[in-house]
Amino acid sequence: MATWSLLYYSAQAIFTIVLMAVGGIILAKCRILDGNSLQILSKTIFYLLLPCMLFASFAQSINMDKLKELWILPVTGVIYILGGIGLGIIAVKALKIKSEFKSMVTASSGFANAMYLPIPLVASICSIFPEFNSNPEMKNIGMVFVSMFIIAFSPMMWTLGYNILGERPHNSIKFTDVVTPPAWGMIAGFAIANLPPLKMALCDKDGFLHPLLTTCTGMGNAVVPCAMIVLGGSFALGPVARRIDMKTVLAVIAVKLLIVPVLAILYIKILVTYGLVPHGTLQDTLLALVMLIEAAVPPATSLIVISSLQKKNVEEMGSLLLWLYLVSLVTLTLFIVIGMRIFQ
């Protein structure tokens, strides 16, 4: 596909999820949604819709053999986090970032929006790009790739990430911070996928558990629009501070949105060269693209939640993320084009 065509389809995919987020902004500005209702919607996604989506995806697609094939994804997730944190520490020292913003730069460089943004973005890519939309299974496969990638994110976010931003003592971390409802959805789906009688009862159209799969799939389809409504509404209602200096913003833009994705491309190419990531099929292209997207997305909005819990730099974090998400509209589009050009 020509570069201009790739740019067109990439921009379409990004614009699709932006429009969903705009819906959240409009609802917030019209006072249909407030902070409390956004929190309720976010909890609904986290405790019901996302576990349902992951359960359905894993039950249909992930067995032990598939897990052995995709082991590189959770490992890569850990590498991205630690690598981003390391680059953030280097940026803090090299640019002499103000002491009150050091933890923000470090955490924002390491912890990406690995779930709520890649899920709708990959869904849009699979629906819009001609290479992928010809195969209806690609969207479900893409969701599996994202799900496998984020296995380690929640535990590391609420342990390492929390400590970076606020020095939370390890003994205050609860079991539910690590093994979350989405994790339970993956565990339950994986268990059923490896029990042939239960998988047949669930996935066969005549199976007595098939209504459960239909219900979970339907609820899972609501994750994408709901997540983007929450994202848009959060920015519309969230704090926007003027006290954060531009050097701090530019440091995170350089590390998280430019350096990390470039290094990720080199990393993925090495994995392909040594056969750790397959290459040659459309599914392989999507796998490499998901790995690149996970490196190129802006920082996690959960960092605002953690800052709020820590009662530290809440407005500054909101301002930083707003800048990062605006700039990522351009950088994400470009890296999707580059990824399709390199890994197709």
Write out the DSSP string of 166-210. Answer: H---GGG--HHHHS-HHHHHHHHHHHHHT-HHHHHHHHSTTSTTH
Label residue 99 exposed, middle or buried (CB < 10 Å: 0-12, 13-18, 19+).
exposed
Per-residue confidence (pLDDT) for residue 89, from 0 to 100 = 95
Per-residue confidence (pLDDT) for residue 84, from 0 to 100 = 95
Cβ–Cβ contacts within 10 Å for residue 299, how many?
25
Digit-coded pLDDT (tens) for 81-98: 999 999 999 999 999 998
Digit-coded pLDDT (tens) for 235-273: 787 655 556 788 999 999 999 999 999 999 999 999 999
Neighbouring-strand partners of residue 112: 299
Per-residue confidence (pLDDT) for residue 3, from 0 to 100 = 67
CB 275 within 8 A of CB 329: no
Predicted TM-score (pTM) of the model is 0.81
Per-residue confidence (pLDDT) for residue 309, from 0 to 100 = 62
Instruction: Give the DSSP letter string of 222-276.
Output: THHHHHHHHHHHHHHHS---S-S-HHHHHHHIIIIIIIHHHHHHHHHHHHHHTTS
List, in order of start, the domains of the chain with CATH numbers. 3-343 (1.20.1530)
Closest by Cα among 303, 323, 308, 329 to 240: 323
Structure tokens at 314: 């809440």
Segments of the chain scoring below 70 in pLDDT: 1-3, 154, 166-178, 238-243, 305, 308-311, 314
CA distance 327 to 199: 44
Within 8 A by CB and 6+ apart from 199, the residues are 59, 192, 193
Per-residue confidence (pLDDT) for residue 63, from 0 to 100 = 73
Per-residue confidence (pLDDT) for residue 172, from 0 to 100 = 56
